């Protein structure tokens, strides 16, 4: 697999690895695509809401460790809102690119950062747990990467329809019958959505 020098550098000597005692915000997220996990801890200045310390632990692959390293560098010194704007594509670009089939590893790392920021805000009464709606489903679908090109299925316009009513999710996908990733995509969508209490059933039409 072809990795950039920057990915290799961050993988061999990752920055900001470890834990913070009694963190102000924390999250552990798993990737539906591969089952790997990342934990991230934050220390936040309560006056300025600037991230003053950040640590991560990865049980993922080289791409994931490199992304954990780069996003913690990127988030350090930023406010929570600024750090929430970091997208997995920014992280991948900062690493001089990742192989397409490894983009989901970058999604996992960035997702964990966003979850830790949410956790801080929820703990400090700055954010209510958001309701679940079609937009939330689309947000989850934007984390499902089509491995052949390393882009998410919403951007690739593979999602033709999303419906959500009484806990029932209906998704129509435009994926050719012979596509080798067809079953993986459906399984990954299910794993992303099943974790929400509001979701009672998922129907995926392809």
**Which amino acids are annotated catalytic?**
34, 105
* Cα 65 to chain centroid, rounded: 14
Which lies closer to ligand FES via its Cβ, residue 2 or residue 22?
2
Q: What is the 3-state secondary structure (H, E, C) of 91-128?
A: HHHHCCCCCHHHHHHHHHHHHHHHHHHHHHHHHCCCCC
Residue 67 sits in the site that holds ligand FES (CB under 6 A) = no
Which lies closer to ligand FES via its Cβ, residue 68 or residue 80?
68
Residue 61 sits in the site that holds ligand FES (CB under 6 A) = yes
Residue 31 sits in the site that holds ligand FES (CB under 6 A) = yes
Judged by CB under 6 A, the number of residues near ligand FES is 9
Asked whether 192 and 145 are in contact (CB, 8 A), the reply is no
Which lies closer to ligand FES via its Cβ, residue 66 or residue 116?
66
Residue 34 sits in the site that holds ligand FES (CB under 6 A) = yes
Q: Pick the closest to residue 55 from 46, 42, 65, 64 (CA basis).
A: 42
Which lies closer to ligand FES via its Cβ, residue 16 or residue 112?
112
Of 1-9, 10-18, 60-68, 171-179, the window that binds ligand FES (rule: CB under 6 A) is 60-68
Residue 68's φ and ψ, nearest 5 degrees, are -60, -40
The minimum distance between CB 82 and ligand FES, in angstroms, equals 25
Residue 105 sits in the site that holds ligand FES (CB under 6 A) = yes
Residue 69 sits in the site that holds ligand FES (CB under 6 A) = no
Helix 182-194 with 134-141: angle, nearest 10 deg: 130
CA distances from 164 to 48, 171, 192 (A): 38, 9, 15
Residue 36 sits in the site that holds ligand FES (CB under 6 A) = yes
**Rounded-to-10 torsion of CA 72, 119, 59, 73:** 0
Rounded (to 5) percent helix, strand, coil in the chain: 40, 25, 40
Q: Give the whole-angstrom CA distance, residue 102 versus residue 13.
A: 19
Q: Lay out the site mask for ligand FES across 74-103 (x = CB under 6 A, - = otherwise).
A: ------------------------------
Which lies closer to ligand FES via its Cβ, residue 105 or residue 158?
105
Residue 64 sits in the site that holds ligand FES (CB under 6 A) = yes
**Tokens describing residue 158:** 């593979």
Residue 108 sits in the site that holds ligand FES (CB under 6 A) = yes
Rule CB under 6 A: which residues touch ligand FES? 31, 34, 36, 60-61, 63-64, 105, 108
């Amino acid at each position: 697999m072809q990795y950039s020098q920057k990915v290799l550098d961050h993988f061999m000597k990752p920055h900001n690895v470890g834990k913070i005692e009694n963190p102000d915000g924390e999250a552990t997220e798993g990737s539906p695509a591969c089952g790997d996990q990342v934990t991230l801890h934050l220390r936040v200045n309560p006056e300025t809401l600037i991230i003053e310390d950040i640590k991560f632990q990865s049980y993922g692959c080289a791409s994931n460790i490199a992304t954990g390293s780069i996003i913690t560098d990127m988030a350090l010194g930023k406010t929570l809102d600024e750090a929430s704007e970091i997208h997995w594509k920014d992280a991948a670009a900062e690493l001089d690119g990742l192989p397409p089939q490894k983009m989901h590893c970058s999604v996992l790392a960035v997702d964990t950062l966003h979850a830790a920021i949410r956790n801080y805000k929820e703990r400090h009464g700055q954010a209510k747990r958001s309701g679940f709606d079609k937009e939330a489903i689309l947000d989850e679908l934007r984390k499902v990467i089509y491995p052949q090109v390393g882009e998410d299925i919403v951007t690739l316009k593979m999602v033709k329809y999303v419906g959500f009513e009484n806990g029932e999710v209906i998704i129509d996908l435009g994926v050719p019958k012979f596509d080798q990733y067809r079953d993986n995509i459906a399984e990954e969508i299910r794993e992303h959505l099943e974790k929400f209490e509001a979701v009672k059933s998922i129907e995926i039409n392809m």
